[in-house]
Each structure stands twice: as structure tokens, then as C-alpha cells.
């Protein structure tokens, strides 16, 4: 199999989950695709020095891949069949359901926990949803660190809690500040500390910030709907700054951007609002 991505049209690349990060020029994007294609071919032909990473790891099943592709297509209009993936408890660790390792900022390697090889669910996680979640990470691997790092992957889950609150777990210290702060209050109060309420400040700041992030992306989503575009596929392809601008700019300014920008014209063509959305 040849991975000649540069021969595909812009729409075909986008549908495969291959789209430029907002900061990439056309030349940089083309160069990334050439590097990616070369790495994938070497991996397929057995000539890659990355083979030691996947030793004795069975490849992901076709059924799980197809189910995950349906989820990513429904939510984000891409099927990233090119992302290599395996079952490996060694790579995921005991408590993780799946991970993506990105080599040289170009090649994502995806691993699901080894227990998924024999069953579809593990510790409350569904194999196709977990794979779809990691595929969203994989296609955004060229993007800079984002406030919405877990928001987009979590939208593929059936669980409303994960869709709404999943982004809260994008950094380890956020739940620590919230739950740790709440837990410290009764301890300090029992110790008759005059500052028993101080840990609540961090918890309230975390809650306020997360509510602001959710409000912003929902506002941006409504603006995109008014512009006649499917919100989630477009938002996935935007930077944090672009999401902010979409949320706050007046409709006439956004309409002018859609007319003047080739990138936004492509969004309009590729992701028209569907009936019932």
C-alpha cells in the first residue's frame, strides 16, 4: 500500500483526517504529508526503527476500526484509516484505555489496552469509542496545546458526563485543585482553622474557568450554525484563537471572513449544515 497523500485533493485529505494546523503554510503541510507517507511505508515494509515499539502487539481488529470510523465520521466528517494501531497493555499501562504516541510531531502511533483484543468493554470504556477518542487526538497531533484538548475527543462518547466534563481532565492539576480543595475544607474546619475556606478559592476558580470554556465553544457552535455550517467538524479544525474569535465576533464580520478566506470557503463547502443538526 502506497501512502501518496500529496496526490489526493484537499477534500479527500480532509475526509481522511489530514488537514493543516492553522499555523501551517501550504508548503509545511505538504512537507508533513510527505514525511508521514514515508514513515508509514517504512513501518508497513518492516524497515522502520519504530518496530521495536510494537513488538508482539497485535494490530487492531477490522471490526473495531470500522465502528470507530463511523463515530468519527458522524461527529467530525473524517475516517483516519491511515493511523496505525495495536493492542498493547504495556504501552497503555494498567489504568489507561488507550493512548497516542506521536513520533517527531508527524507520525501518530495508537494503542488500545490489550484486554480490548478479547472483549469490547473494559472498566466502563467501550473499544470503538476509545479508538475514536484517540483518533481525534491523532488527527490534531500537529496542533499546538489546546484548551479543548479533551473536549473534542470526548464528544464521540455516548456518556453525557464524558461529553460535558471530559475536558476538565485535560490536566492532572485541575481535578486536584477541585476535589482536593473541597476535601480540605472539612479537615481545616475540624481543626478550627480560621482559613478553612481558602481551598474553596482554587476549586471555584477551576469551575468558573471550565464553565467559561464550555460557554465559549457553545457560543461559537451557535454562530457556525447560523452561518450554515456543521459546528463540530469546523471547530475541530480551528485553533483556540479562531474558536474565541468565532464566539465573540459579530455575525457580519464572520460572514466577511467566510467570503474572503479560502480556508473558510472550504469549511462552507465541506461541512454544510445538515437537516436535523
- Judge whether 89 and 114 are in contact, CB under 8 Å: yes
Q: Does residue 183 share a domain with residue 75?
A: no
pLDDT level of residue 275 (50, 70, 90 thresholds): low
The predicted structure's pLDDT at residue 244: 96
Give tens-digit pLDDT for 191-208.
888 888 888 998 999 999
Instruction: Give the sign of the dihedral formed by CA 10, CA 133, CA 141, CA 222.
Output: positive
**What radius of gyration, in Å, describes the C-alpha atoms of the chain?**
21
pLDDT level of residue 4 (50, 70, 90 thresholds): confident
Q: Does residue 20 share a domain with residue 133?
A: yes
Q: Does residue 183 share a domain with residue 63?
A: no
Q: Which three cell numbers stand for residue 22?
A: 492553522
CB count within 10 Å of CB 76 equals 25
The predicted structure's pLDDT at residue 82: 95
pLDDT level of residue 260 (50, 70, 90 thresholds): confident
Whether the pLDDT of residue 36 is over 90: the answer is yes
Whether the pLDDT of residue 276 is over 70: the answer is no
In a domain, 244, yes or no: yes
For 234, residues 6+ apart whose C-beta sits below 8 A from its C-beta are: 224, 267, 271
Please name the helix (run of DSSP H) or strand (run of DSSP E) that holds residue 109, with its range, or none: strand 107-112
Q: Does residue 203 share a domain with residue 124?
A: no
Give tens-digit pLDDT for 54-79.
888 899 999 999 999 999 999 999 99
Q: Does residue 53 share a domain with residue 131?
A: yes
**DSSP-assigned beta bridge partners for residue 100:** 110
Q: Does residue 192 share a domain with residue 113?
A: no
Whether the pLDDT of residue 249 is over 60: the answer is yes
Q: Does residue 69 share a domain with residue 24?
A: yes
Q: Which three cell numbers stand for residue 11?
A: 477534500
pLDDT level of residue 117 (50, 70, 90 thresholds): confident
The predicted structure's pLDDT at residue 211: 95
The predicted structure's pLDDT at residue 33: 93
The predicted structure's pLDDT at residue 74: 97
Q: What is the DSSP letter of 250?
A: -
Whether the pLDDT of residue 44 is over 90: the answer is no
Instruction: Give the sign of the dihedral formed by CA 27, CA 16, CA 108, CA 97.
Output: positive
pLDDT level of residue 1 (50, 70, 90 thresholds): low
Q: How far is the C-alpha of 176 from the C-alpha of 16, rounded, in Å?
A: 37
CB count within 10 Å of CB 247 equals 17
Q: Does residue 139 share a domain with residue 13?
A: yes
On average, the pLDDT of the chain sits at 90
In a domain, 228, yes or no: yes
The predicted structure's pLDDT at residue 274: 79
Give tens-digit pLDDT for 131-148.
999 999 999 999 999 999
User: For the chain, what is the domain count?
Assistant: 2
Whether the pLDDT of residue 115 is over 70: the answer is yes
Whether the pLDDT of residue 236 is over 90: the answer is yes
The predicted structure's pLDDT at residue 210: 94
Q: How far is the C-alpha of 90 from the C-alpha of 136, rounded, in Å?
A: 22
The predicted structure's pLDDT at residue 45: 86
Q: Does residue 105 share a domain with residue 177?
A: no
Find the domain containing 248 and state its range: 171-270
Amino acid at each position: 500500500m502506497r501512502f501518496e497523500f500529496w496526490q489526493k485533493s484537499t477534500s479527500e485529505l480532509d475526509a481522511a483526517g489530514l488537514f493543516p494546523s492553522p499555523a501551517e503554510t501550504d508548503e509545511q503541510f505538504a512537507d508533513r504529508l510527505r514525511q508521514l507517507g514515508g514513515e508509514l511505508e517504512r513501518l508497513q515494509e518492516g524497515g522502520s526503527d519504530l518496530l521495536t515499539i510494537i513488538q508482539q502487539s497485535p494490530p487492531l481488529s477490522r471490526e473495531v476500526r470500522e465502528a470507530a470510523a463511523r463515530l468519527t465520521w458522524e461527529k467530525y466528517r473524517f475516517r483516519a484509516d491511515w493511523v496505525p494501531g495495536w493492542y498493547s497493555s504495556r504501552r497503555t499501562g494498567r489504568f489507561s484505555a488507550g493512548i497516542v504516541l506521536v513520533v517527531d510531531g508527524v507520525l501518530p502511533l495508537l494503542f488500545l489496552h490489550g484486554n480490548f483484543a478479547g472483549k469490547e468493554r473494559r472498566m466502563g470504556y467501550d473499544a470503538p469509542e476509545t479508538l475514536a477518542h484517540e483518533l481525534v487526538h491523532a488527527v490534531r497531533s500537529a496542533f499546538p496545546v489546546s484548551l479543548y484538548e479533551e473536549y473534542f475527543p470526548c464528544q464521540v462518547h455516548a456518556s453525557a458526563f464524558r461529553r460535558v466534563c471530559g475536558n476538565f481532565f485535560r490536566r492532572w492539576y485541575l481535578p486536584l485543585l477541585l476535589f482536593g480543595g473541597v476535601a480540605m475544607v472539612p479537615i481545616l474546619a475540624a481543626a478550627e482553622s480560621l482559613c478553612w475556606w481558602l481551598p474553596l478559592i482554587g476549586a471555584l476558580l477551576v469551575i468558573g474557568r471550565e464553565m467559561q470554556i464550555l460557554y465559549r465553544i457553545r457560543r461559537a457552535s451557535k454562530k457556525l450554525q447560523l452561518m450554515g455550517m456543521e459546528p463540530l467538524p469546523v471547530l475541530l479544525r480551528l485553533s483556540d484563537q479562531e474558536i474565541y474569535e468565532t464566539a465573540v465576533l459579530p455575525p457580519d464580520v464572520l460572514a466577511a471572513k467566510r467570503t474572503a478566506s479560502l480556508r473558510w470557503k472550504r469549511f462552507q463547502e465541506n461541512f454544510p449544515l445538515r437537516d436535523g443538526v
